[in-house]
Structure 1
Amino acid sequence: MVNWVSQLSLNHILSRPVRVIAPIVPTSRPTK
């Protein structure tokens, strides 16, 4: 049961990698 949950979680993150990187990119290198 936990297997499919882990797969869905990974799929969701892999499906939208921009969403996880977006908030990290601007914080790491702020644009002027």
Structure 2
Amino acid sequence: MPGQMSMYDEMRVGKNELYIDFLWERQARKINFYS
């Protein structure tokens, strides 16, 4: 079922993007805090 797989892949990619945004936000806060 390629349709189901692509839906699952989209969900996985979306979660990864959210996690990366979260890490970037933490990093930016750290830089602002120390500068």
Please report the TM-score for the alignment, with normalisation by the length of structure 2: 0.47
Asked which structure has the greater RCO (Cα within 8 Å, sep 6+), the reply is 1
Please report the TM-score for the alignment, with normalisation by the length of structure 1: 0.50
More helix by share: 2
Report which of the two structures shows the higher radius of gyration computed on alpha carbons: 2
